[in-house]
Amino acid sequence: MQYFFSILSEKKGSSFIWDSHYIYILSIPLAIIIGPVYEEFIFRYYISDRLFLNTRKYIAMIVSSLLFSVFHSPTNISSFVVYFIFGIIQGLLYKKTKNIYAPIVSHCMVNAVILVCN
């Protein structure tokens, strides 16, 4: 998703959409809804639950959290750790509730707060 945002933020000729704040407004649903749904299905449901079906759930959670952190292209060790811890929290939420919608809603709320604060 970060790659997608970097593509969108590049200037593309003289089109009004690239020279204004419209791109920011258009990216809000992507950051708050589409991204979290996609990421939670990939990292919690598919990688943690399906790919590592025959392994211990905590090992699968650590691996999926590491991949989640790498996927977000951290710029330093502290941002890597923040993404990793968020991935662990999301994994625990998924494991505790046994429902993919709990981490999706949580992730949407976190992204919305981050977007509002920025």
User: What residue numbers bound the domain in which 42 lies?
Assistant: 33-117
Within a domain: 64: yes
In a domain, 96, yes or no: yes
| Contact (Cβ atoms closer than 8 angstroms) between residue 38 and residue 100 | no
Residue with the larger pLDDT of the pair 114 and 50: 114
* Structural domain contains residue 27: no
In this prediction the pTM is 0.77
pLDDT digits (tens, 9 = 90+) for 46-65: 998 887 766 777 888 999 99
Q: Confirm if 65 and 84 have CB atoms less than 8 A apart.
A: yes
Q: Domains in the chain: how many in total?
A: 1
Range in 23-27, 89-93, 102-106 with the lowest mean pLDDT: 23-27
Q: Which residues contact 104 (CB under 8 A, 6 or more apart)?
A: 36, 37, 40
56 found inside a domain: yes
> Quick one: DSSP state of residue 74?
-
